[in-house]
Amino acid sequence: MSESPDDAPKKGIEVPLGEPTVSVRRLSVHYRVSSSEVERGWVSRRERLARRLGWNRIVTVRAVNDVSFVARAGESIGIVGHNGSGKSTLLRVIAGLETPTTGDVLATSTPTFLGVNAALMPELSGMENIRLGLLAMGHTPREVRKIVPDVLQLAGIGDAIHRPMKTYSSGMGARLRFAIAASDRPEILLIDEALATGDVASKERSEARMAEIRRQAGTVFLVSHAAQTIEEMCTRAIWLHQGEMILDGPAYEVARAYRWWAWNLAKGEVAKANGLLEDARAQLRATVVHPEDPTTDRHISRHAHPS
Ligand SMILES: Nc1ncnc2c1ncn2[C@@H]1O[C@H](COP(=O)(O)OP(=O)(O)OP(=O)(O)O)[C@@H](O)[C@H]1O
């Protein structure tokens, strides 16, 4: 963890809140996997012994565990947490790419998902990928011609746009994917780490586009390990830890709490870090809004999952 604690008070981004767009209700995603596949996280003594003896048991990984919240138009929500905390799984369920074990997600429109591995073709040039991507998003060839200059400007990768994508750096690829997905100014945009690799200029363009989506009463979700990215780009943040929601609040507050916890953990101050987790949980319990409350989701009718 390269980040250090920053105690300077931050103002954060403030936006007027609109109607609910996404409601996540008591969502859990549990995977049943062979014990030898579980590499990360805590392993019991019994499990260690079983592995040493070569026994293979089926264990449950609680990737997301009983998470609830309501997102509103005009919000950009950062999802922050350590490796394996459930960030990508949560985003995939909101995108409708994965079915939850229990709970559900309601959304006012189908979210646009922008993953690090969004399917672009490495052999084709950036320009060809833009055209194909836009056609795949349902645009007509005439619309594609109109939209391409906007995507090129947002991607900002110059002449490299005519080179095969397999020659791009991960940052260039990420910017291109963001530019294609954001060209639609979707009502609900889900981004998985794609912005973390950009340089300063591209980050500013991405930030401006996210602000524009927010102004048009859209909702943006951004998954990142980097508390700073979340703080700079989001209005609100959710901290996940081992699948559990630890804190939900203004991005600068959550980013600061997360950073302080991660810093203590990195310094080996485990007891202090555990205490900070407990404090954050207590704060969440004191502020939580229950999505079961009919007033919070009365405007949400369509299920996020196409099936
Ligand atoms: N398809 C799967 N089958 C089994 N376990 C999975 C699967 N997908 C994710 N997991 C497990 O679920 C947990 C959460 O994974 P997830 O990728 O959502 O975390 P993350 O916070 O996005 O991690 P990272 O920051 O490392 O990308 C991890 O323990 C992971 O190993």
Centre of ligand 1 from the C-alpha of residue 63, in Å: 6
What is the DSSP annotation of 53-94?
Answer: TT---EEEEEEEEEEEEEEETT-EEEEE-STTSSHHHHHHHH
| Domain count along the chain | 1
For 90-143, how does the pLDDT look when each residue is reduced to its tens digit (9 = 90+)? Answer: 999 998 889 999 999 999 988 888 765 556 788 999 999 999 888 877 789 999
CB 214 within 8 A of CB 75: yes
Cβ neighbors of 76 (< 8 A, separation 6 or more) are: 13, 210, 213, 214, 219, 220, 221, 222, 233, 234, 235, 236
Name the closest-CA residue to atom 28, ligand 1.
Answer: 84
Please report which confidence band the pLDDT of residue 260 belongs to, taking 50, 70 and 90 as the band edges. very high
- Nearest atom in ligand 1 to the alpha carbon of residue 223 is 22
Q: What is the mean pLDDT of residues 37-55?
A: 66
Q: Give this complex's ipTM.
A: 0.96
Please report which confidence band the pLDDT of residue 36 belongs to, taking 50, 70 and 90 as the band edges. low
Centre of ligand 1 from the C-alpha of residue 82, in Å: 11
Centre of ligand 1 from the C-alpha of residue 89, in Å: 6
205 part of a folded domain: yes
155 part of a folded domain: no
Q: Which amino acid is at 77?
A: I
Instruction: Provide the β-strand partners of residue 256.
Output: none
For 220-256, how does the pLDDT look when each residue is reduced to its tens digit (9 = 90+)? Answer: 898 887 888 888 888 999 999 999 999 999 999 999 9
Question: Residue with structure tokens 């055209």?
Answer: 131
Query: What domain range includes position 280?
Result: 20-111+186-296
CATH assignment at residue 284: 3.40.50.300
